Amino acid sequence: MSMILAAPVLADGWHMDGGWWFGGMMLWMVLFWGLVVFGIAWLVRGAPRRSASDDRESAIRILDRRFAQGEMTLEEYQERKGALTER
């Protein structure tokens, strides 16, 4: 019987009675772990990625623009485009 009566006293001593301190700590813990999970998800899925194919595509677009403006001949254009697409 004395064990049953002692349990509420111990719980109150450790602030596990649902008071503001325990509830506030739980709120901060949930917010912290939520931010950790969100940060990991953002890094894995949402972070911008850049690959070598993006660089080649932009180089080909520049090459196309220069050819369209008449800055190079057809032979130069074909040679440089072939060199870019071989990678």
Write out pLDDT tens, residues 30-85. Answer: 999 999 999 998 888 876 676 666 666 688 889 999 999 999 999 999 999 998 88
Under the banding of pLDDT at 50, 70 and 90, the label for residue 16 is low
- Per-residue pLDDT at 31: 92
Q: How many Cβ atoms from other residues are within 10 Å of residue 63's Cβ? A: 18
Confidence of residue 13 (pLDDT cuts 50, 70, 90): low
- Whole-structure pTM value: 0.38
Radius of gyration of the chain (CA): 32
